[in-house]
Structure 1
């Protein structure tokens, strides 16, 4: 099994899927991490990021905020989503493996007041168009 985590420079779960610059990819065997690596996203946008994860054969995604378009794209790729997660990426993966990480697949992108532009009524809660 392969798990991807949106990843920031502080080794934490990055809080906006559509703007993540890197993922930490964990290889899992027998419910244990056997290896991990950081993968640059080399792009931005829900579709491009979902395609990148699909190309990497990712089974599960752990992330912070995620919009409806990304949820749909990842769902079409067969990737299980654990959203609304914060804190250490490694601890989040361990919680998932231990069965204590709560699964949320609902769009929960809510970064108001953080310098992002939002225009409601354009598709999902962030106002980004699906592409």
Structure 2
């Protein structure tokens, strides 16, 4: 399984559509190992779920995103965990240990729901 964590530097990004990149981890048999960092191709509605699916990602972890983005990830067979903050390495370890649960956090940084993120 490939896990992508939206990141800004070494921390989980609070706004996945505007993050710097995605820390990619391979999770196998209760072990998670850093694989690579993918630079974000930029914010373009509907593009990021396809971009990550093309890289074999099965799960995205982020601070928040809009409901439409969640649906687009699900349409691309990518599970979504939201409401996460802190260092990406800790989030990855918490996920593999079963301690990371989605809060369903929807982006609230704008005057509207971020349905394109």
| TM superposition outliers: structure 1 runs of 4+ over 6 Å | none
Structure with larger Rg: 1
- Which structure has the highest strand share of the two? 2
**Unmatched 5+ stretches in structure 1:** 112-116
* Conserved? CA contact 2:63–2:105, under 8 Å: no
Residues 69-104 of structure 1 show CA distances to partners (whole Å, capped at 9, x for unaligned) of: 110100100111110100011101111111110124
Shift of 1:33: 1.9
User: Which residue matches 1:48?
Assistant: 47
Count of residue pairs the alignment pairs up: 117
- What is the Cα-based RMSD across aligned positions, in Å? 1.7
**Unmatched 5+ stretches in structure 2:** none
User: Which residue matches 1:7?
Assistant: 7
Shift of 1:42: 1.8
State how far apart, in whole Å, the 1-side matches of 2:41 and 2:27 are.
24
Q: Cα 1:77–1:35, aligned 2, differ >3 Å: closer, same or farther? A: same
State how far apart, in whole Å, the 2-side matches of 1:26 and 1:16 are.
19
